[in-house]
C-alpha cells in the first residue's frame, strides 16, 4: 500500500467507507492523519464508531510500513 491507498482497503463496513468518501476522505493516510475526535465531527458519528475507523486506518498504515520494511530487507539479502 502507498500513501494514496484507497479507504476501500480498510477493514470497516462499506457504509462507513462511503461516508468517508462523501466527506472528502479518500485515502487511508487522510483518515489516519485525523484524530478520533475530528472524525466524530467530520462524519457526525459517535465516538465508538470513529474509534473503529481511526484504528483501522492506523493499523493499515502500520501493516503497510511493516510490509515495505520486510520487502526491502528481502531485496537487500538477495542482492548480497
Per the structure, the count of domains in the chain is 1
Mean pLDDT of the chain: 86
By percentage, how much of the chain surpasses pLDDT 90? 66
Assess if residue 49 is contained within a domain. Answer: yes
Q: Which of 68, 5, 57, 7 minimizes the C-alpha distance to 33?
A: 57
Assess if residue 2 is contained within a domain. Answer: no
The answer to whether residues 53 and 16 touch, using CB atoms and an 8 Å cutoff, is yes
- Predicted structure pTM score: 0.77
* CATH code where residue 27 lies: 1.10.150
Q: Domain span at residue 71?
A: 7-79
Q: Kindly give the parts of the chain with pLDDT less than 50.
A: 1
Assess if residue 36 is contained within a domain. Answer: yes
Residue 1: predicted pLDDT: 47
Amino acid at each position: 500500500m502507498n500513501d494514496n491507498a484507497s479507504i476501500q482497503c480498510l477493514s470497516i463496513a462499506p457504509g462507513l467507507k462511503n461516508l468517508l468518501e462523501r466527506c472528502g476522505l479518500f485515502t487511508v493516510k487522510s483518515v489516519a492523519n485525523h484524530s478520533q475526535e475530528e472524525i466524530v465531527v467530520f462524519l457526525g458519528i459517535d465516538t465508538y464508531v470513529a474509534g473503529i475507523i481511526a484504528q483501522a486506518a492506523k493499523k493499515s498504515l502500520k501493516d503497510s510500513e511493516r510490509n515495505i520494511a520486510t520487502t526491502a530487507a528481502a531485496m537487500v539479502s538477495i542482492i548480497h
